[in-house]
Amino acid sequence: MDHELWSQLSHAMADVARAFPRSPRQTFGIHRIIRVYLWAVLHDRPTVWACRPSSWPGPNRPTALPDQSTMSRRLRTPQAQRFLAKLARRVAGPAQPSLVKALDGKPLVIAKHTADPDATSGRGVGGFAKGYKLHAIWGRDAMPLAWSVRPLNVSEVAEARELIGRLNDEGYLLADINYDRNDLYDRAASRGNQLLAQRRPSSKGLGHHRHSPHRLRSVHLLECSPSPFGRDLYRQRRQIERDFGNLVAFGGGLQCLPSWVRRLSRVRLFVHAKLIINAARIRRRVA
């Protein structure tokens, strides 16, 4: 385990904990619950593992540890979600204006014989698979500007509409061919962004039906304009592939969904924790 990374996360949790005073009725404050959970996620172990004193080296061990049932109950509360959201913002640092953003999805595949009722079949890497998908819009921050986890059969286009609605910065949104839809161009424009996506190949060209003017502008920038601005800008879309790659390419990263992370609510919680750990690693690396 990277002790500097844990120290950074620990200090961030202590800062956030000041906004979450413990109720006299609670044996463990929410900061203790999240600390134990992040310790398990960082080590790719089940939550029950982190509830054992033997799983903690002396300097890091809390004075008392909750049991598995307490962890399971408290992690499902809105308070836990609020704490993680504030922790993510604290770890990622001040928000950076993002003129250029990228949109894509990453399949989170599990075994096809799983009994998880929330996992569905859909298009994964290289064919059909079963599991979930992380949808994200990345900008300049260490955390995605917007993200969600959905079953694998949920349309990327449908989820993109919701994510685009969370954008605050104006600029350009880069996406691949799957997002070349008129309604997405209009949706992005309503949030002050020009969507750029490769056009679906067709022997009929654009056809004769109405197209969003923002889609036509994308076609002009990527295919027709004598200026290389649009094509040079679109090459930056590869950054999101590096963002997803960096998320998995370190010890404690989101390399897979382990066998103890099943059901949509648990998968979302697990992914949220991994994104926070990755953001802390990025901030430490560029500091």
In tens digits, the chain (287 residues) has pLDDT values of 578 899 999 999 999 999 988 888 888 999 999 999 999 999 999 999 999 999 999 888 888 999 999 999 999 999 999 999 999 999 998 888 899 999 999 999 998 889 999 999 888 777 788 999 999 999 989 999 999 999 999 999 999 999 999 999 999 999 999 999 999 999 999 999 999 999 877 646 666 678 899 999 999 999 988 899 999 999 999 888 888 888 888 888 898 899 999 999 999 999 999 999 999 999 887 65
Alpha-carbon torsion angle 232, 157, 207, 188, nearest 10: -60
Residue 193 main-chain phi, psi, to 5 deg: -125, 140
Share the mean pLDDT of the chain: 91
The pLDDT, as a whole number, for residue 122 is: 87
Instruction: Determine the 3-state secondary structure of 57 from DSSP.
Output: coil
Q: Does the reported pTM lie above 0.85? A: yes
The answer to whether residues 174 and 233 touch, using CB atoms and an 8 Å cutoff, is yes
Beta-bridged to residue 171, according to DSSP, are 193
107 CB contacts (<8 Å, ≥6 apart)?
122, 123, 124, 125, 129, 131, 132, 133, 152
What would you report as the CA-atom Rg of the chain, rounded to the nearest whole angstrom? Answer: 21
| Among 287, 286, 285, 270, residue whose Cα is nearest residue 42 | 270
